[in-house]
Amino acid sequence: MTAKRADVVIIAGGRIRSPELREAAGVDVRAVIDLCGKPLLQWVLEALRAAQSIGRMCVVGDVELLKPIASPQGAQVLAEGVDEVDNLFRGIEALPGAEWVLMLATDVPMLTADAVDDLLANAPDVDLIFPICERGVTLAHYPDRKWTFVKTTDGAFTGGCGFLFRPEAVLERRAWVQEVFDSRRNPWKLMRIWGLFFGLKALLGRVSLAEAEARISRVLGLTGRAYITQHPELCYDLDYAPHVAQVRAHMQRRMEPAP
């Protein structure tokens, strides 16, 4: 399998909604949360720069706030739009000629170059790839935090904080992407999109990965596949107040010299 090379869109717009997370972070934008002397966004960009498989990088968010962090890392910064979907498409359109695009949320603080290069080297050659990590692998690396796992007939998995895709496949389906995004917090709307029977099976943990991939591909009109990564760093987000202290502790250990 030929290793892919991707450009990156980092979605860094919006403000932290949770009062508890804002208090723990000391700021109201995730990208600038201080983690052992560096803003979160800098950790993410440094990991991406170290990856052999990454080309251009684009950050979408508050230009005035984020440009001093992103520019020294070689990333351009675009003004955010009305929602995450608008931000995603702004990023894609700023990367003309991209063969592959890796979309990431800004809050993947534990991201490593190895995790990114593994994804680009081994992901299936399809339109849309979702990285996921199996429960046992995830907990072996990071047992100290609460995770959300989705049960399937192939095991329990947690989802990644982004996805890899061919940009033309996504650009052609903006309306579908917007509809799925707008329905994400309404289970009944999602059931209508994915199908009632499929939705009920998924809730009961009776769907296989192959069934889920086939449904996503059929509904979106493209080929979508999961990639089971051995790097839970792709799935480690910073969503809740306790995560701030946990990530800082992990970062501190990562910065310690090897014995």
Q: Tokens 């994400």, residue?
A: 184
Tell me how far CA of residue 226 lies from CA of 71, 157, 160, in angstroms: 32, 11, 10
Q: What is the pLDDT of residue 203?
A: 67
Whether 25 maps to a domain, the answer reads yes
Whether 12 maps to a domain, the answer reads yes
Whether 204 maps to a domain, the answer reads yes
Which string of DSSP letters, residue by residue, matches the chain? -PPP-EEEEEE--S----HHHHHHHSSS-GGG-EETTEEHHHHHHHHHHH-TTEEEEEEEE-HHHHHHHHGGGT-EEEE--SSHHHHHHHHHHTSTT-S-EEEEES--TT--HHHHHHHHHHS-SSSEEEEEEEHHHHHHH-TTS----EEETTEEEEE-SEEEE-HHHHHTTHHHHHHHHHTTT-HHHHHHHH-HHHHHHHHTT---HHHHHHHHHHHHTS-EEEEE-S-GGGT----SHHHHHHHHHHHHHHHSPP-
Cα 48 to the chain's mean position, in Å? 13
| Sign, Cα dihedral of 38, 43, 45, 47 | positive
Residue 97: how many CB atoms within 10 A of its CB?
7
Residue type, 164: L
Q: Are 249 and 28 in contact (CB under 8 A)?
A: no
pLDDT digits (tens, 9 = 90+) for 60-78: 999 999 999 999 999 999 9
Could you give the CA distance from residue 206 to residue 142 in angstroms, rounded to a whole number?
27
For 37, residues 6+ apart whose C-beta sits below 8 A from its C-beta are none
Report the chain's mean pLDDT, rounded to a whole number: 90
Question: Is it the case that residue 101 has pLDDT exceeding 60?
Answer: yes
Q: What is the pLDDT of residue 180?
A: 74
Whether 197 maps to a domain, the answer reads yes
Q: Are 40 and 31 in contact (CB under 8 A)?
A: yes
Whether 149 maps to a domain, the answer reads yes
pLDDT digits (tens, 9 = 90+) for 119-169: 999 999 999 999 999 999 999 999 989 998 989 999 999 999 999 999 999
- Per-residue pLDDT band at 3 (split at 50, 70, 90): confident
CATH code at 240?
Answer: 3.90.550.10
Question: Phi and psi of 169, rounded to 5°?
Answer: -65, -35
Question: Phi and psi of 14, rounded to 5°?
Answer: 85, 175
Whether 1 maps to a domain, the answer reads no
Whether 105 maps to a domain, the answer reads yes
Question: Is it the case that residue 193 has pLDDT exceeding 70?
Answer: no
Q: Which domain holds residue 28?
A: 6-255
Could you give the CA distance from residue 208 to residue 226 in angstroms, rounded to a whole number?
11
* Domain count of the fold of the chain: 1
Question: Is it the case that residue 183 has pLDDT exceeding 80?
Answer: no
Whether 123 maps to a domain, the answer reads yes
